[in-house]
Amino acid sequence: MKALGPYFKTQKLNIFWSVLSIAIVAFATLWQPHLLQQVLEAILKKDSDTVFKNGVILVVLGVIGVIAGVINTIYSAKIALNVATDMRADLYKKIQTFSFGNIEQFSASNLVVRMTNDINQVQQIVMALFQQLTRIPILFIGSFILAIMTLPSLWWIIIVMMVLIVLVSAFSFTRMGRYFGTMQELIERVNTLARENLMGIRVVKSFVQENNQIDQFAKSSDEMRDLSIKIGNLFAILMPAFFLIANLAMALAIFLVGGMVTDHPTYLAAITSFISYLMQILFSIVIGGFMMTFASRAFVSLGRIDEVFNTKPQLTFPDVPETTLGGSIHFDHVSFTYPGETDPTLKDISFDVKAGEMIGIVGATGSGKSTLAQLIPRLFDPDSGEVEVGGVDVKTVNENSLRKAVSFVLQRATIFSGTIAANLRQGKANASLADMQWAAEIAQSAEFINRLDKQFDAEVEERSANFSGGQKQRLAITRGVIGKPAILIMDDSTSALDARSEKLVQQALEKELTGTTTVIIAEKISSIIKADRILVLDDGQLIGQGTHKELVQNNPTYQEIYHTQKALEEV
């Protein structure tokens, strides 16, 4: 609940109205049985004036109670919605400060669940809290005192009933809390299964995995059904059990009062309000129990949200003025281990790249090519050694300077929903139409963009489903070059392009981005054969560098890759 404190601070006025209105509801509820008792007594005494007066007060009190109830619902909903909205915005802001390492630590889909499902849990408990928070203690204490004051000799019936209800509640609500916890886990499992299945539907269908997926889904779904039945059964027993206890208490009270009515005629009226107070004691204990069950679920969600808030970004940028960085790259004895891993992925790597050079990186799959490239825009920090861009240690520059200088085009192109222009403006915020056309010509995307009705204003659907793999890669390259970066890293980002288009992209890059340092990670040697220098990686080590001609003569690993690819091409 501590985590909620700052969010409640901005809701003081709404909280005031909510608490005031629910307190009015509680007092009206407490007063009604007492008034009813007075009306009944007046009827017995044939005092029509008092009957009329108290009858009117009873009606007015009822109306006030209803109005206050409506006001409470409105303000409680406002508080819950505002708290959830503010918390969601803060969580999103916090996640934006995370480095790659932080995101991997949680996993992207887990963070989505925290921002949606967990925040919803908090919203529900805040709403319930303000609808019941003040009402339950007032009703419980008030009804207890008033019940004893109404029929003092029956105090022990109240105590016995309370003890029995608390015992049944303690047993069933702890059990229910456990069931709800398991239900939450099952919901997450079903969500993950459904998400993975739908996102990978092409793979599922091409490997004819539908039945396997259906079986897995059905298993979790069956578990959910069985658990829901258990929860339903518990409810089915719980409610009648509570009412049985309350009814027995009432029957006993009526039986005992029946014996005393001859000596105390007013007890006839008193028994009605005594029964009402018994029911309100029952109500407050039961609702309190439910609240605790829901609260325990919300506490788990709050804990998960708090965990995100308390996570320090693994990588922060210094607060220094923005500078323009040059295109040289310097790796000085760099070693790197992924968070949570024990073996280093990069081992003691040193090399220099001059501004404007074209560098190729080759190596077997998993040799560390992408990892090396990720250290240039400082997506991760090395364990030891230093990475410099434009002659400056990347740890000493501000984030914008580095992002403007280094543009990274990934193999798996991510194009966001919106328009093509909006995606390109991620590469250059104020890009003009001419800038877009220039970049599209380089990336060979102009030909298909020009064929679209709205061209750069054409819509990109969710998960860019309306573009082919090759088109997505070209759009990503367009976005990568539009800002004329000092360093352009292409991580296998032409893999879905045909050989002709790939060649055209490279020629255009050479012609149009003359001052830009280009780092090309490629599976095919043909993609980097013309590079000024090629770095050869093997199991995280830099085992050679030179031109294609030099490496083909003196680097056995390079020779092997080259000859294998050549042989395959000839076949």
569 sits near ligand ATP (criterion: CB under 6 A): no
Cα 173 to Cα 176: distance, rounded to the nearest angstrom = 5
341 sits near ligand ATP (criterion: CB under 6 A): yes
Task: Report the amino acid identity of residue 518.
Answer: T
CA angle at 43 for the pair 41 and 46, rounded to the nearest 5°: 115
280 sits near ligand ATP (criterion: CB under 6 A): no
The only residue of 132, 172, 280, 367 in contact with ligand ATP, by rule CB under 6 A? 367
- 324 vs 365 by CB, closer to ligand ATP: 365
512 sits near ligand ATP (criterion: CB under 6 A): no
382 sits near ligand ATP (criterion: CB under 6 A): no
366 sits near ligand ATP (criterion: CB under 6 A): yes
- 338 vs 351 by CB, closer to ligand ATP: 338
- 119 vs 361 by CB, closer to ligand ATP: 361
Burial of 246 (C-beta count, 10 Å sphere; 0-12/13-18/19+): buried
Token couple for 99:
């480095």
The only residue of 370, 398, 426, 437 in contact with ligand ATP, by rule CB under 6 A? 370
Task: Report the amino acid identity of residue 73.
Answer: T
| Candidates 224-232, 257-265, 358-366, 443-451; binding stretch for ligand ATP (CB under 6 A) | 358-366
CA angle at 532 for the pair 445 and 359, rounded to the nearest 5°: 60
Site for ligand ATP in 150-179 (CB under 6 A): none
Chain-centre distance for alpha carbon 131: 26
Q: What is the CA radius of gyration of the chain?
A: 36
* Residue 436 and residue 424 in contact, taking contact as beta carbons nearer than 8 Å: yes
| Candidates 10-18, 364-372, 418-426, 499-507; binding stretch for ligand ATP (CB under 6 A) | 364-372
Least spacing, CB of residue 541 vs ligand ATP, in Å: 12
- Which of 119, 22, 127 is closest to 80 using CA atoms? 127
Least spacing, CB of residue 118 vs ligand ATP, in Å: 25
The only residue of 345, 407, 494, 506 in contact with ligand ATP, by rule CB under 6 A? 345
Query: How does 488-498 read in b/e, with b if 16+ C-beta sit within 10 Å?
Result: bbbbbbbbbbe
* Residue 32 and residue 13 in contact, taking contact as beta carbons nearer than 8 Å: no
496 sits near ligand ATP (criterion: CB under 6 A): no
Size of the site for ligand ATP (CB under 6 A): 12
Least spacing, CB of residue 87 vs ligand ATP, in Å: 29
| Candidates 177-185, 362-370, 477-485, 499-507; binding stretch for ligand ATP (CB under 6 A) | 362-370
369 sits near ligand ATP (criterion: CB under 6 A): yes
- 265 vs 366 by CB, closer to ligand ATP: 366
Phi first, then psi, for residue 558 (nearest 5°) are -60, -45
What lies within 8 Å, CB to CB, of 329 at 6+ separation is 351, 352, 353, 359, 376, 387, 388, 389, 487, 517, 519
Site for ligand ATP in 414-443 (CB under 6 A): none
What lies within 8 Å, CB to CB, of 245 at 6+ separation is 161, 164, 165, 168, 282
Least spacing, CB of residue 346 vs ligand ATP, in Å: 8
| Candidates 145-153, 252-260, 365-373, 508-516; binding stretch for ligand ATP (CB under 6 A) | 365-373
- 323 vs 370 by CB, closer to ligand ATP: 370
Least spacing, CB of residue 307 vs ligand ATP, in Å: 20
Phi first, then psi, for residue 491 (nearest 5°) are -90, 90
Site for ligand ATP in 101-140 (CB under 6 A): 104
- 142 vs 363 by CB, closer to ligand ATP: 363
Task: Report the amino acid identity of residue 102.
Answer: N
381 sits near ligand ATP (criterion: CB under 6 A): no
Question: Cβ–Cβ contacts within 10 Å for residue 553, how many?
Answer: 11
371 sits near ligand ATP (criterion: CB under 6 A): yes
* Residue 37 and residue 269 in contact, taking contact as beta carbons nearer than 8 Å: yes
The bridge status of strand 392-393 relative to strand 384-389 is antiparallel
Binding residues (CB under 6 A) for ligand ATP: these are 104, 338, 341, 345, 363, 365-371
